[in-house]
Structures are given as C-alpha cells and as structure tokens.
Amino acid sequence: MFKRLDPRDINITPFKAYKEFTVTNTDSGSGVYGFRAISSSAYNFDPDTATKTTFDSASFYHIPTWFTIRQLYYRDTENNFNNFGYNSNNQYRLLQPSASIISVSKDLFGERIKPKSIALSDDSGASTLTIKDDGKGNLYDNTYSSSFAEFAAGGFANSDIIKSTGSFVGNIFYEQGLLVFTNTGSNYVDIGTGTGTDGYSLEYKSQMTIREHSYTCIIGENEYNSTMNISSTYQRSGSVTVSGSESWKLFPPGHAAAKSGSYKHYYGSATEYEGFVTHSKFEPYITKVGLYNDFNQLIAIGQLSHPIKNDRELALGINVRFDA
C-alpha cells in the first residue's frame, strides 16, 4: 500500500552544526601540521637538500610553501579578486619573507573553521601567547586586543601600522583550515613550530551543514483500513512454509545462509481474510511509516512511540523527520 506524497508536505531545512576541537603539536602527522614557510630562490631547487619539516605522514618544503601561500593569498592585495582566497577589506594581509603555518586537515574542520572560534595557546617564545581570530580572517595577540581593535577600526591604514606591530599576528583562511602567522617579531616568529614544552594547543569549532528532512504523511478518511499482515489471511493462505534439510537450495543465492528450510515452487496470493477482519469494528493500528524513493526503495522508517488507531472517519497526519 503506497501513496505519493504531496510536494507541499515535504520540507527540507538546512542548519549549521558546530563541534569544538582541541588539537596540539603532538597531533602533528594525524591531520594537524605546523611548519615554516621561507622566501628564497627556487633556482635549481633540490628536494634532497632543501629544508623541510617532516612528519610521519607528510613532508613540507619551506621554500615552495612560501611561494604557494603567496600565490594563493598574498600576491596582489590591491585586487580583491586576483588571489585564490578572496581579499576582504576587513582582512589585513602582509606577507613577510618568512612565516609560520598551522594546517588543519579538512577531516577535522568539515566545511570550514567557524569564524571567531580560534583560541591558540603557544609556548614557542619567552612567554605563553594567546592568539585569537576576529571573525574576519585576522589573527591577533589577545594581550594587545585593544591595539588591534584600533588598527582594524582605522581600516588597516598605513598611518596606524605602529598599532599592528604588537597585536596583528597573521591570517586565518577558514575554508582551507590554514593559519598563517606573518608577524616576524621575536614573540611570534616561531608560532606553531615548537615541540614539547615549546608546543601549542589550538581550540576551534568545525562547521557542517545538516539538513532536517520533514515529511508529512496524510492518511485520509477510510484509507489504509485493510492490512497486508499474513496473520489476517484465512489459514495464513499465501504463506511460505520453510522446513526440511535440503530445500534451502531452492532459495535465491544468499537467502538461506543457514542451509535449512523449504521453498514452495509457486506462490499463491491470499484470496480470503479471517472472519475478524470483516468485523465492523476491525481497524488496523499504525506502528511504522516507511518512506520510499521513486524506485520503490525503502530509504527511511519512522517508528511511532506507540501504536495509533487508524479511524475510518478521521484523517491522520504523521510527520516523519530525520537529519542527513
């Protein structure tokens, strides 16, 4: 017994879900990598002798990395659309001859890192630093947050550049999970590259879009008041009897793993109900609702908390919801 749903009874609503993560430098090699990027001549580049940072699962060459991030994000800061990462007027970008990078695997941040969720504690310098993001792609030293706020409020003007030297630390590219520390001051030059007691701890929230599917299944008056349960047929007519030790061979492959049972060579559909089905008070109870696609494939089952009587004189609406 199938019924096609009215498109007006189908509603799919997307919403954002966030999950908080904490990773450290000891997680390097399992989706989190901290390494250097250095500007130098790439002429006659030799991978055997070039400086690199190596983990169990990957190696990062310092010189190619610098050119890569420059081409992707810093090559032309005047033209908003001339880089891979769009240049927002609210993001200050200035790449020095060297930088430090923390790269987070997409498996650990989903669609993107949630803006304004970064909290990095780093011990690579003389004192512990707390680095945060402003939600617009800038990283700043939380100790000098007021100086950074003045620098940002002024539109990152060159006349305010002095306010950035002790507050602006670098950039975060949320969709790529990439933290780039461009400030080369002594407090910031080695952020994300230390190990042991000089390591770091990074907190952030990942973002995923989850869609809530809602299907309202309408059972009209005097609909679905019969049953396909074999227990209602006369002497269980139309049933399949399983017995015997060799009859499992008659089943289609994979349908009789126990290798026992029997299979009738024909199937006779039920033609008669038991007497109680024809009683005026007989009304089925609904316990589950199945949702099928256009190919009659079952894709979801809605389990009711308790059986509901299907009254012949009342329309019934059952809402099936699930997230995907």
Q: What is the pLDDT of residues 156-201, one digit of tens each?
A: 887 777 767 778 999 999 999 999 999 998 889 999 998 888 999 9
Can you give the pLDDT at residue 269?
65
pLDDT band at 265 (very low <50, low <70, confident <90, very high): very low
pLDDT tier at 213, thresholds 50, 70, 90 = very high
* pLDDT value, residue 176: 93
- Max avg pLDDT among 27-31, 34-38, 226-230, 249-253: 34-38
pTM above 0.75, yes or no: no
Is there a contact between 288 and 274 (Cβ–Cβ < 8 Å)? Answer: no
Higher pLDDT, 243 or 18: 18
Whether residue 151 contacts residue 163, with contact meaning beta carbons closer than 8 Å, is answered with yes
Give the span between the Cα atoms of 76 and 67, in whole angstroms: 13
CA of 131: how far to CAs of 122, 128, 177, 267, 310, in Å?
8, 10, 16, 72, 61
Task: Look at residue 214 in the predicted model and tell me its pLDDT.
Answer: 94
Q: What mean pLDDT do residues 262-285 have? A: 69
> What is the arithmetic mean of pLDDT over 226-240?
71
Mean pLDDT of 292-307: 90
Is 56 or 96 the better-scoring residue by pLDDT? 96
Distance, CA of 182 to CA of 35 (rounded, Å): 13
* Average pLDDT score over the chain: 84
Query: Which tens digits make up the pLDDT trace of 32-66?
Result: 999 999 999 988 889 999 999 988 778 899 999 99
Mean pLDDT to the nearest integer, 63-76: 89
Q: Which of 222, 232, 144 is nearest to 183 (CA)?
A: 144
Q: CA–CA separation, 322 vs 324, rounded Å?
A: 7
User: Would you kindly state where each structural domain of the chain is located, as residue ranges?
Assistant: 15-211, 232-278
pLDDT given for residue 263 in this prediction? 47
Residue 248 has pLDDT above 70, yes or no: no
